[in-house]
Amino acid sequence: MPSEFNLIRQFFERPQSVRRDDVVLSIGDDCAMLTVPAGKTLVVTTDTMVENSHFYPNIAPYDLGYKAVATNLSDLAAMGAEPAWISLALTLPRADETWLSEFSRGMFELLNARQIQLIGGDTTYGAALSVTITAHGFVEKSTALCRHQAREGDEIYVSGTLGDGLAGFHLLSDLFHERKSAGDFCEEFLIRRNLHPTPRIQLGQALARYRISRCALDLSDGLVGDLGHILERSRLSAILDLDALPCSDALIRLYGREQAERLALQGGEDYELCFTLSPDKKPLLEQYAQEFDVPVTRIGRIVAANEEKPIRFRRQGKDIELQISSFEHFF
Amino acid sequence: MPSEFNLIRQFFERPQSVRRDDVVLSIGDDCAMLTVPAGKTLVVTTDTMVENSHFYPNIAPYDLGYKAVATNLSDLAAMGAEPAWISLALTLPRADETWLSEFSRGMFELLNARQIQLIGGDTTYGAALSVTITAHGFVEKSTALCRHQAREGDEIYVSGTLGDGLAGFHLLSDLFHERKSAGDFCEEFLIRRNLHPTPRIQLGQALARYRISRCALDLSDGLVGDLGHILERSRLSAILDLDALPCSDALIRLYGREQAERLALQGGEDYELCFTLSPDKKPLLEQYAQEFDVPVTRIGRIVAANEEKPIRFRRQGKDIELQISSFEHFF
């Protein structure tokens, strides 16, 4: 590894970062050594963010560090897992001290807040900036939230608001291509929602631990596409109430309700949870949602498999036809 | 994810690949779910290979798949760990069916031979071809081979032969830049040693399990640089016998003994183990080395810390001066 990469050590082995008791050996040997608590199952997820595919080259390094961690934690949240450790594979066109300092600041802000330890990784040179994080956590096997565990009659819920991530992405694209200049507070809100998604860790853990839900995923490719994964794996179908889709005031103000709904259905990068539960679990859900201050909204229900129409849409109680394509990164 | 990426599923969820009992949930959900055996400690390592930094763009996809797995398994071997699972983050400029078929064939050849399961990952588009693998394995905490555990008086050993990886790299560079055409069997041997390194998994596990060694690493950046990590972490120094350095016949035939020695000292990408042991463990080491058919060679010994000269070199019993720079990928 090139000698100037020595400076990386100072940014990724920070004395103020979290030291967990279950980390026997961290950065600096061939491998990290880790203890998984007795009775717990290990969960592992990997996400890559590549320049010009997942972010524009002008992204602030702080935002990139934050978002790369957040999107991985969102996958852990979607299993109902407790996050523990991450590995970081960072590919850089050059080693720039200010850039690394800001990137690591964004990363450690979220890691430290959640008591998660960086346990190792690899830093390499390459033409394109790229961040791959592998996140590790724990869950009780019997309570994990899996995509194949939806049941007929379950209500479908989402956390937070939908469509903000995709709207923020469009705004970032406009800014990058100089089609417009920096915007008002609504635009700023949506951009922030894209760059700083909130992994719903507490909610996911409560859904699992208190057996509120058996089935969840995180919305990274858009509600229609992602709900499709639940339906495919569970071999069921769904009816969605368009009127119920939770959209932020900022999204509605900028796009109007109808376009906001489309963004909510199609939108990628929301990193909210979509989960299903038996109607009798509603009081328990509302109790924990209130405790964690996370809005949750019932947006439809799981029904028997309908191969022709895995998802049917309703507005004001009536079936309507909608063509929604799933979100694809840039391409 | 772009729709053409659906074809990836057919290459990474192959029915003939290994299914381990400790994998509760594999590819297809937000996370993989995994069981770590009671009493064992989890080990995790991450390695990235990027186009034009770690390999030339003309690398055969089979070789890339093989080498990406091998280099990660080499890190597990250096801890004395038993490999279990890998996650794959693959960034591709385009999705090419033949390329993916060959890449996955190289990867699964090694995975299946070692009973290792691919448990998930992320496939993305990006301008530069890049492979990041996170490998997981198990080890008993008390027997793990760590860099800081060398002791004064230990003998230093290496497995296999040294310098082949770097020589193979130079030959690949010549071929890529068309400075020469395909070579004789010696050159082919060295290129193969670079592209298909042999992770010393059985040897590493025996060193740990039978308490032959407490300290090892794998030689990825060259003997002088990597041994330096052991010495730094163990706060000790070393004396190396240049005459003892094990070099392949092919290397000596092509470069002569003196240049072969330099390649052995400086050479990166050998992926052999360097380890230390108390002299009384020699018979046990030789027994297992013979059983696994892995050559091992004593190349020096660990001595008290000498801050001015962490590594001293000897030839025919006499101290000599040598300046060796560590291997750096391409740059």
pLDDT tens figures, B39-75? 899 999 999 999 988 999 889 999 999 999 999 999 9
pLDDT of residue A67: 97
pLDDT of residue B324: 75
| Average of per-residue pLDDT across B287-297 | 95
- The nearest CA of chain B is from the CA of A316 a distance in Å of 32
| pLDDT category of residue A4 using cuts at 50, 70 and 90 | very low
Evaluate if residue B6 carries a pLDDT over 80: no
State which CATH number among 3.10.180.10, 2.60.120.380, 3.40.50.2300, 3.30.1330.10 fits the domain covering A3-141.
3.30.1330.10
Evaluate if residue B177 carries a pLDDT over 90: no
- DSSP code string of B234-295: HT-EEEEEGGG----HHHHHHHHHHHHHHHHHH------EEEEE-GGGHHHHHHHHHHTT--
Tell me if B30 and A46 make a contact (CB, 8 A cut-off): no
Q: List pLDDT tens digits, range A106-165.
A: 999 999 999 999 998 888 888 899 999 999 999 999 999 999 999 999 999 999 999 999
Mean pLDDT over all residues of chain B?
Answer: 90
| Average of per-residue pLDDT across B201-222 | 95
Tell me if A126 and B125 make a contact (CB, 8 A cut-off): no
CA–CA dist B274, B159 (Å, integer): 7
Say if residue A55 carries a ligand binding annotation. no
Mean pLDDT over all residues of chain A?
Answer: 90
Q: Which residue does chain B place closest to A51, by CA atoms? A: B126
Evaluate if residue A6 carries a pLDDT over 70: no
Tell me if B147 and A30 make a contact (CB, 8 A cut-off): yes
Chain A residues touching B132 at Cβ < 8 A: 46, 48, 89, 122, 132
Q: List pLDDT tens digits, range B27-37.
A: 878 889 999 99
| pLDDT category of residue A94 using cuts at 50, 70 and 90 | confident
Tell me if A89 and B46 make a contact (CB, 8 A cut-off): yes
Among the partner-chain residues B79, B128, B221, the one whose CB lies closest to the CB of A1 is: B221
Q: What is the DSSP letter of B51?
A: B
pLDDT of residue B2: 43
Evaluate if residue A1 carries a pLDDT over 60: no
pLDDT of residue A7: 59
| Average of per-residue pLDDT across B283-296 | 95
Residue to substitute from B6, B31, B145, interface A, most A β-carbons within 10 A: B31
Evaluate if residue B327 carries a pLDDT over 70: no
CA–CA dist A213, A155 (Å, integer): 10
Tell me if A33 and B43 make a contact (CB, 8 A cut-off): yes
Angle between helix axes B223-234 and B249-266 (nearest 10 degrees) is 40
**Cβ pair A313, A319 in contact under 8 A:** yes
Residue A233 Cα to chain centre, angstroms = 20
Q: List pLDDT tens digits, range B86-114.
A: 999 999 998 888 999 999 999 999 999 99
Q: List pLDDT tens digits, range A194-204.
A: 999 999 999 99
**Cβ pair A264, A223 in contact under 8 A:** yes
pLDDT of residue B3: 47
- The nearest CA of chain A is from the CA of B138 a distance in Å of 9
Evaluate if residue B325 carries a pLDDT over 60: yes
- The nearest CA of chain A is from the CA of B223 a distance in Å of 14
pLDDT of residue A183: 74
Say if residue A300 carries a ligand binding annotation. no
Give the CA distances from residue A202 to residues A41, A272, B219, in Å, rounded to whole numbers and listed in that order.
18, 12, 43
Q: Which CATH architecture has domain B3-143?
A: 2-Layer Sandwich (3.30)
Say if residue B47 carries a ligand binding annotation. yes
Among the partner-chain residues B34, B121, B218, the one whose CB lies closest to the CB of A41 is: B34
Evaluate if residue A8 carries a pLDDT over 70: no
pLDDT of residue B263: 93
CA–CA dist A247, A260 (Å, integer): 7
| Average of per-residue pLDDT across A270-288 | 96
CA–CA dist A319, A17 (Å, integer): 53
Among the partner-chain residues B3, B35, B75, the one whose CB lies closest to the CB of A30 is: B75
Tell me if A24 and B141 make a contact (CB, 8 A cut-off): yes
Evaluate if residue B331 carries a pLDDT over 50: no
Evaluate if residue B155 carries a pLDDT over 80: yes
Tell me if A50 and B217 make a contact (CB, 8 A cut-off): no
Q: Which residue does chain B place closest to A269, by CA atoms? A: B1
Say if residue B257 carries a ligand binding annotation. no
Tell me if A134 and B130 make a contact (CB, 8 A cut-off): no
| Average of per-residue pLDDT across B107-129 | 92
- Name the CA radius of gyration of chain A, rounded: 20
Domain coordinates in residue numbering, chain A = 3-141, 147-320
Superfamily designation of domain A147-320 = PurM-like C-terminal domain (3.90.650.10)
CA–CA dist B189, B163 (Å, integer): 12
| Average of per-residue pLDDT across A236-261 | 95
Q: How many residues does chain A have?
A: 331
pLDDT of residue A175: 86
Evaluate if residue B179 carries a pLDDT over 80: no
To which H or E segment does residue B199 belong? none
CA–CA dist B324, B109 (Å, integer): 36
Tell me if B44 and A53 make a contact (CB, 8 A cut-off): no
Say if residue A269 carries a ligand binding annotation. yes
| pLDDT category of residue A327 using cuts at 50, 70 and 90 | low
